[in-house]
Structures are given as structure tokens and as C-alpha cells.
Chains A and B, each alone.
Chain A
Amino acid sequence: MTMTRAWTLILTAVVALPAMAQERGRFEGRLDSQMLGALRPILAQAAGDSLPTGALEDKALEGAAKGVPAARIIAAVRQLAGELRDARGLLRDGRPAARIPDAEVIAAAETRRRGVPAQEIAALARGASQHPLVVPLTVLGDLVQRGVPADYARTVLEQLLADGLPPDRMAEIPGRVDVALRVGAAPADALRSALRGGGREMPHGPPPGGGRGPAAGRPIQPPPDPPKGGKPPSSGRPHGNSS
């Protein structure tokens, strides 16, 4: 067999160059072709639904990194796609005409996963429709995981947004709630305490120099007594411990 035939024969085995090359780059060779085959329809459907496919890809890579069996990875990716789809729907309900950023869809799905009822997420999207939602959604999830009633937490956050509380201050709230929880406060009381706050005061009105909403100095009104018993934080058992 001459060399010419050798090279040409090799080539006749080629039918086409599929787009798998690009896919391979995306998954960086960490998922084999069987897994990719199973993922492809999920990702295609998600892309068609305007869902953040990057989050699905990351979930697959995460499973692979953690040594999770393939079937479970596929199931988790499928599950996440469903959660993202639902989350997008909730945000769309709250803001029918707006563009929904991927980051908010991801945050909303996670907030749902952390136990915040769907109607609270939709209500937040409606009530805070002029504000970016990643921070409020995440803080809402943090508060509900700590046992704060969801509707109260959502109302408080909406109020804080209307009062012009900057995102970095909002992100501090769960930590302040933890301080109060540690000294035995019930979750809703811990949130109230966090808003009054020691040290740097949490503003109850617009920030200096501007902002919209109620006049400065008006505190956030505590709600009527929350449903019986603040449920304990459901953060779950840590996976490991420092050793």
C-alpha cells in the first residue's frame, strides 16, 4: 500500500466534522461522549427556552468533579433545567415586559430551592420591579433558611429597596440576623433587630443626598406576630468539618 492510498484511506473514513469539536472545548474533555450525548437534548431545549445553559453545563461539570454517577448527573441537570424554567416563569409573572437576566433566573431558582414559596418570589419581582434582583433574592433565601417567615422577609426587603438601601448593605443583613439568633432571638425578631442594628445603622429612610421612598427616619413597621414558631434554620448538616 503506497503512502498516497494510506492517507486517502484514512480520509475516506471521515463523513463529516460534527460540531462536537466546539462542544468538546466547552466541556474541556471532562465529560465523555456518552454523557455529552445525554446532555445535548437537555441543553438544546434549555437554550430554546432562553434559560442560562451555562448553569446547566456547570452543574454537569460539578457532578463530574464530585465523582457522581453519570445517571445522577443527568438527572440533576434535568432537574435544574426545570427549576430554571419555573424560576424564569415566576420572574416573568412579576415583570412581564422586562428582559430577565440570566443571573436573576439562577438566583430565583436557588431561592426556590432554599424553601422560599413561589408566590413570594413572584411578589418580590413585582414589588421590586425597578431593582436588580440577585441580591434581594439571595438575601430572601438566606432569611427564610434562618426561619424568618417568607412573606415578612419579602415585605421587609421590598421596603428596603424602596428606601434606597444599597445592595452591599442588604447583603449584610443575614450576618446581622445571625448575631441576634445566637443570643436567642426568634427569627422574625432577629430580622427586626438586624434592621435597627448596632454599629453602622441600617437606614430606614433614603440615604443621605437622595433616594426615593418614605421620609428619613421612619422605621420599618414590624408585622403582626408571625406564624407560630419560627422554624429553625434549615441549613442542613454540613458535609464535612474542619479538621
Chain B
Amino acid sequence: MSTPPSDAEVVARILGGDVEAFGLLVDRYQSIFAPYAAQVTGSADDAADVIQESFVRAYRFLSRCDNPANFKAWLFRIVSNQCKSHMSRGWRRKTVPVDDIATLPAPDDPARDVAAGDLQDRVQRVLQQLPPDQREVLVLKYVQDLSLIEIADVLRVSVPALKMRLLRARTALRRKLQGVMV
């Protein structure tokens, strides 16, 4: 049984003119980045837009990937930047407004939160309330499960700076969740 080609091999084929080989990279990575993009942008719809734009950009600028063996980190960087651009354009889709059912309580209403009994629901909502750069490091570390070095590489920051950002993000997360409880 042959092993699948490495990212470096696939990139070389694409740069050699084999455009269909790009499909291998799409298959490998589109689902991997989907949770990250969905959480940073706030919706799976926006995630799909971001992923589409990221892959197309990756193709266009593939010759600029200086370390094809670490294509994933390079692509991740593109996705991260696309998330930022996407949000700075102010396109954040909201869930469907339910206009003919009684008004829902505001998200931070403790009565509703206790009644909801859904930790994931609360954590997801609180995540969306955090500043994007804090949300991003929490998702990269705790959902995507990247190492500190990998995250630092993606975000182009030093590891100490990253640790500081993570600490602030965890503190903010805890405070917001506490606010829900009080």
C-alpha cells in the first residue's frame, strides 16, 4: 500500500502545472480549519466563505509558500488573516430572528442561562463575546489543539507573547462565565 503524497510533494506537483492535485490539499484541510473559522467568525456560513477565499488565495500565491513541508501552518495563517478581513468587513450573520414567538431573553440573562442547562451553549456564546484575538488563541489552543510553537508560528508572535495572550483570554473567559452565574 502506497502512502499518500506529502504536502511538499503535492505542492511541487501543483507548481508543476497539475492543478487537479490542489484538490488533495482541499480534501486534507478544509474540514480541519472549519471549526476554527466558524468559531472565530461566529458562524459556519462565514466559515465556508473564509475557507473558500483562503484556498483560492493559497492557490494563487502557492509559489510564495517557502516551506511546503509545513503547508498547513502557511494555510492556517491565510485562514487566520481571512477571518480578520472577513470580520473587519462587518459581515456577521445572525441566527434567524424568531419574530412570532415570544421575545427571547438577552443572552446574558442569568435566568435564561440557568434554565438552558447547556454548558456548551453558554461557553459558545461567551466565546463570541470575547475580542477576536482572544477567541482566536483559545480556539487554536483548545479546539484545534495546536502547540504553543505552532500557534506562535501561525500568528507570527513570540511564544512568551502568546502565553500572555492565552492567560488574558482564559481570565476573560472565566470572568464572563462567572458573570453569567452571578
Measured CB to CB, the residues of A under 8 A from B are: 3, 6-7, 9-10, 13-18, 20-21, 24, 28-35, 64, 69-71
Q: How far is the CB of A130 from chain B (nearest CB, A)?
A: 36
- Name the B residues within 8 Å of A20 (CB-CB): 118, 120-121
Report the bound CA distance from A183 to B170 in whole Å: 72
**Which chain B residue has the least Cβ–Cβ distance from A37?**
B101
A6-B174, A9-B181, A29-B44 as given contacts; A64 in contact with B120, CB under 8 Å: no
Question: Can you list, as one digit per residue, whether each of B112-142 has a CB less than 8 Å from chain A (1) or not (0)?
Answer: 0110111111100000000000000000000
Q: How many A-B residue pairs have CB under 8 A?
A: 70
Contact of B119 among A13, A28, A70, A71 (CB under 8 A): A13
A6-B174, A20-B120, A32-B95 as given contacts; A69 in contact with B100, CB under 8 Å: yes
**Which chain A residue has the least Cβ–Cβ distance from B42?**
A29
Contact of A14 among B96, B119, B178 (CB under 8 A): B119
- Name the B residues within 8 Å of A13 (CB-CB): 113-114, 117, 119, 122, 180-181
Report the bound CA distance from A31 to B93 in whole Å: 11
Contact between A32 and B96, CB atoms less than 8 A apart: yes
Measured CB to CB, the residues of B under 8 A from A are: 38, 42-45, 93, 95-96, 98-101, 104, 113-114, 116-122, 174, 177-178, 180-181
Report the bound CA distance from A16 to B174 in whole Å: 20
Contact of B117 among A3, A16, A28, A70 (CB under 8 A): A16
A17-B119, A29-B44, A32-B104 as given contacts; A6 in contact with B95, CB under 8 Å: no
Contact of A70 among B38, B96, B114, B116 (CB under 8 A): B96
For the A-B complex with A7-B174, A21-B120 known, give 9 more contacts whose Cβ atoms are closer than 8 Å: A6-B174, A10-B178, A15-B117, A17-B119, A29-B45, A30-B43, A30-B93, A32-B96, A32-B104
Contact sample, A vs B, 27 pairs, CB 8 Å cutoff: A6-B178, A9-B181, A10-B177, A10-B178, A10-B181, A14-B117, A14-B119, A15-B117, A16-B117, A17-B118, A20-B121, A21-B120, A24-B120, A29-B38, A29-B42, A30-B43, A30-B44, A30-B45, A30-B93, A31-B96, A32-B104, A33-B121, A34-B98, A35-B96, A70-B96, A70-B100, A70-B101
**Which chain A residue has the least Cβ–Cβ distance from B174?**
A6
